[in-house]
Structure 1
Amino acid sequence: MTDTETHADPGASADSGHSAVSGVEIVLDAVTKRYPGQREPAVDNVSMTIPAGETVVLVGPSGCGKTTTMRMINRLIEPSSGTITIDGRDALSIDPDRLRRGIGYSIQQAGLFPHLTVAKNVATVPGLIGWDRKKINARTDEMLELVGLDPDTYRNRYPRQLSGGQQQRVGVARALAADPPLLLMDEPFGAVDPITRGLLQDELLRLQSELGKTIVFVTHDFTEAVKLGDRIAILGNQSRILQYDTPAAILADPADETVAGFIGADASLKQLTLTRVEDVDLGECPTATEDQPVEGLRSAIAEREWRWGLVLDRQRRPLRWVSTDHLAHASSLREIGLPVGETLTLRSTLQDALEALLSEQTATAVVTRKRGEYAGLISIDTLVGHLSNMRAEYAHGTNDAPAEQGGAVSGTGATAIAGADDAT
Structure 2
Amino acid sequence: MADNNNPGTTGGHGVEIHLEEVSKRYPGQQAPAVESVTMTIPAGETVVLVGPSGSGKTTTMRMINRLIEPTSGKISIAGEDVLALDPDKLRREIGYSIQQAGLFPHMTVGENVGMVPGLVGWSKQRIAERVEEMLDLVGLDPAEYTKRFPRQLSGGQQQRVGVARALAANPPVLLMDEPFGAVDPITRGVLQDELMRLQADLGKTIVFVTHDFDEAVKLGDRIAVLGERSKILQYDTPEAILTNPADDTVAGFVGAGAALKQLTLRRVRDIDVTEVPTAKVDEAPSALAERLGSRRGAIGLVLDRRNRPLRWATAREAGAVAALERAGRPVEDSVSLASTLQDALEAILTDDDGVAVVTGKRGEYAGVVDIDTVMNAIKALREENAEPDEAAVAGAGS
TM-score, normalization: structure 2? 0.90
Match for residue 298 of structure 2 among 292, 295, 308? 308
| 1:15, distance to aligned residue in structure 2 (A) | 2.8
1:308–1:321 Cα contact (<8 Å) kept = no
Question: Any stretches of 5+ residues in structure 2 without a counterpart?
Answer: 393-398
Higher RCO (CA-CA < 8 Å; seq separation 6+): 1
| 1:201, distance to aligned residue in structure 2 (A) | 1.2
Is 1:205 the counterpart of 2:199 in the alignment?
no
Q: C-alpha deviations, 1:207-237, integer Å up to 9, x for none?
A: 1111111110101111111111111001123
Q: State the AA in 1 paired with 2:141.
A: D
CA–CA separation in structure 1 for the residues paired with 2:46 and 2:390: 22
SS of the residue corresponding to residue 206 of structure 2 reads strand
Greater percentage in helix: 2
Is 1:29 the counterpart of 2:20 in the alignment?
yes
Would the alpha carbon gap of residues 137 and 36 (structure 1) be closer, same or farther in structure 2, given more than 3 Å must change? same
SS of the residue corresponding to residue 120 of structure 1 reads helix
2:317–2:327 Cα contact (<8 Å) kept = yes
Is 1:376 the counterpart of 2:370 in the alignment?
no
SS of the residue corresponding to residue 379 of structure 2 reads helix
CA–CA separation in structure 2 for the residues paired with 1:230 and 1:278: 16
Name the counterpart of 1:291: 284
| 1:13, distance to aligned residue in structure 2 (A) | 4.0
Q: C-alpha deviations, 1:51-85, integer Å up to 9, x for none?
A: 11111000111111100000000111111111111
Question: Any stretches of 5+ residues in structure 1 without a counterpart?
Answer: 1-6, 402-424
SS of the residue corresponding to residue 83 of structure 1 reads strand
Q: C-alpha deviations, 1:374-409, integer Å up to 9, x for none?
A: 3222222222221211111121129999xxxxxxxx
Please list, as runs of the form range in 1=range in 2, the aligned pairs for 1:332-347 lying within 5 A after superposition: 334=324, 335-347=326-338
SS of the residue corresponding to residue 16 of structure 1 reads coil
Name the counterpart of 1:421: none
Please list, as runs of the form range in 1=range in 2, the aligned pairs for 1:177-256 lying within 5 A after superposition: 177-256=168-247
Q: State the AA in 2 paired with 1:168.
A: Q
CA–CA separation in structure 1 for the residues paired with 2:13 and 2:225: 26
| Range that drifts further, 313-322 or 264-273 | 313-322
Match for residue 99 of structure 1 among 90, 105, 113? 90
| 1:18, distance to aligned residue in structure 2 (A) | 5.5
Name the counterpart of 2:114: 123
2:9–2:170 Cα contact (<8 Å) kept = no
Would the alpha carbon gap of residues 309 and 103 (structure 1) be closer, same or farther in structure 2, given more than 3 Å must change? same
| 1:162, distance to aligned residue in structure 2 (A) | 1.1
Name the counterpart of 2:139: 148
| 1:19, distance to aligned residue in structure 2 (A) | 5.1
CA–CA separation in structure 2 for the residues paired with 1:85 and 1:400: 43
1:273–1:349 Cα contact (<8 Å) kept = yes
CA–CA separation in structure 2 for the residues paired with 1:36 and 1:224: 34
Q: State the AA in 2 paired with 1:270.
A: K
CA–CA separation in structure 1 for the residues paired with 2:390 and 2:106: 52
SS of the residue corresponding to residue 139 of structure 1 reads helix
| 1:356, distance to aligned residue in structure 2 (A) | 1.3
Is 1:43 the counterpart of 2:67 in the alignment?
no
Question: What percentage of residue pairs aligned between the two structures are identical?
Answer: 63
Would the alpha carbon gap of residues 112 and 88 (structure 1) be closer, same or farther in structure 2, given more than 3 Å must change? same
Would the alpha carbon gap of residues 66 and 158 (structure 1) be closer, same or farther in structure 2, given more than 3 Å must change? same
TM-score, normalization: structure 1? 0.85
| Range that drifts further, 275-284 or 215-224 | 275-284
Is 1:386 the counterpart of 2:377 in the alignment?
yes
Name the counterpart of 2:7: 16
| 1:355, distance to aligned residue in structure 2 (A) | 1.6
SS of the residue corresponding to residue 293 of structure 2 reads helix
Q: State the AA in 2 paired with 1:273.
A: T
Would the alpha carbon gap of residues 146 and 286 (structure 1) be closer, same or farther in structure 2, given more than 3 Å must change? closer
Q: C-alpha deviations, 1:327-353, integer Å up to 9, x for none?
A: 7x8586844544433122222111111
Q: State the AA in 2 paired with 1:248.
A: E
1:286–1:300 Cα contact (<8 Å) kept = no
Would the alpha carbon gap of residues 261 and 333 (structure 1) be closer, same or farther in structure 2, given more than 3 Å must change? same
Name the counterpart of 1:163: 154
Would the alpha carbon gap of residues 23 and 398 (structure 1) be closer, same or farther in structure 2, given more than 3 Å must change? farther
Match for residue 277 of structure 1 among 243, 268, 272? 268
CA–CA separation in structure 2 for the residues paired with 1:110 and 1:313: 31
| Range that drifts further, 123-132 or 80-89 | 123-132
2:94–2:174 Cα contact (<8 Å) kept = yes
| Range that drifts further, 318-327 or 249-258 | 318-327
2:50–2:225 Cα contact (<8 Å) kept = yes
Would the alpha carbon gap of residues 115 and 380 (structure 1) be closer, same or farther in structure 2, given more than 3 Å must change? same
CA–CA separation in structure 2 for the residues paired with 1:208 and 1:399: 36
CA–CA separation in structure 2 for the residues paired with 1:314 and 1:79: 51
Name the counterpart of 2:126: 135
CA–CA separation in structure 2 for the residues paired with 1:141 and 1:235: 39
Is 1:85 the counterpart of 2:76 in the alignment?
yes
CA–CA separation in structure 2 for the residues paired with 1:72 and 1:269: 35
| 1:198, distance to aligned residue in structure 2 (A) | 1.3
| Range that drifts further, 313-322 or 262-271 | 313-322
CA–CA separation in structure 1 for the residues paired with 2:315 and 2:202: 45
Q: State the AA in 2 paired with 1:308.
A: A
